[in-house]
Structure 1
Amino acid sequence: MARKTVGIRDVAAAAGVSVTTVSHILNDTPHARASDETRKKVRDAAAALGYGPNRMAQGLRTQRSAMIGLLSEDIATTPHAGMIIKGAEETARKHDYTLVIINTDKDADTRSKRRDVDALLERQVDGILYATMYHRAVSLPPRLFEVPAVLIDSTDRTGLVPCTIPDERGGARTAVTALLDAGHHRIGFVTNTDDVPATHGRLQGYRDAVQGAGITFDPGLVAAQESEAAGGYAAAKELLSREDRPTALFCYNDRMAMGAYRAAGELGLGIPEQLSVVGFDNQTLIAEGLFPGLTTVALPHYEMGAWAVQTLIRLIEGHDEEKLLADEATILSCPLIRRDSVAPPHASTPAGADAALTD
Structure 2
Amino acid sequence: MFVSKEGRKLKAHGGNVQDSLIEVNDLVRGPISKDLVVVSAYRPNKQGLGGSTVWAQHRLHFHAVNRKNNPRKAFVDDLCKQITKWRDEGCEVVLGIDANEDVTVNAPQSIRHRFQACGLEEAILKHHPPQVTHQRNQWNIPIDGIFTTLGVPILAGGYYAFDEFFDCDHCGLWIDIDLSASLGNFQPQKSNFTPRKLSLQDSRSVSKYLQLVHKGYAKYSIPERLNKLNQRIDHLGHQMTPSLVRKYNCLHRQMYTVRRQAEEKCRALAPGKVPWSPKMQGFWDCMSLWKLLLKGKKGCRVSSRKVRRLMKKTGLPQAWRKSAVDLEDCLKQERSLYKQAKHTYAAQWRKDFLTVQTKDAKKHQWK
TM-score (norm 1): 0.28
TM-score (norm 2): 0.27
User: Bigger relative contact order, structure 1 or 2, given CA contacts below 8 A and separation 6+?
Assistant: 1
Q: Which has the larger radius of gyration?
A: 2
Q: Structure 1 or 2: larger strand share?
A: 1
